[in-house]
Amino acid sequence: MEKFQCVTCGKISSNRGEICNAGSDIGSVFVCSDCSKRSSRAEDICNPVEMTPSFYCGKCGNSAVEEGALCDPLKL
């Protein structure tokens, strides 16, 4: 399944229409182990940890591996 990330705000979704400035399809997401910033590019993260998210939050757009880590989880 395709996943897209907004290159402006960082929101991640499987629906390209939900993204204001969608970049190309992403496979993995990198999250900073210190500040929790997320990006599809490791170079944008200070201490990157790679993850393959299965869910994203319908409210804030954050991504997560586990459904319980989000307030409004939607499957990617």
As a whole number of angstroms, the distance between CA 24 and CA 30 comes to 15
DSSP string, 21-68: TEEEE-S-EEEETTT--EES-GGG-SSEEEE--SEEETTT--EESSGG
pLDDT tens profile 22-60? 776 666 778 888 887 877 778 888 888 887 778 888 887
Which amino acid is it at 71? Answer: C
0.75 exceeded by pTM: no
pLDDT in tens, 21-31: 877 666 677 88
The domain spans of the chain are: 4-75
Distance CA 74, CA 63 (A): 9
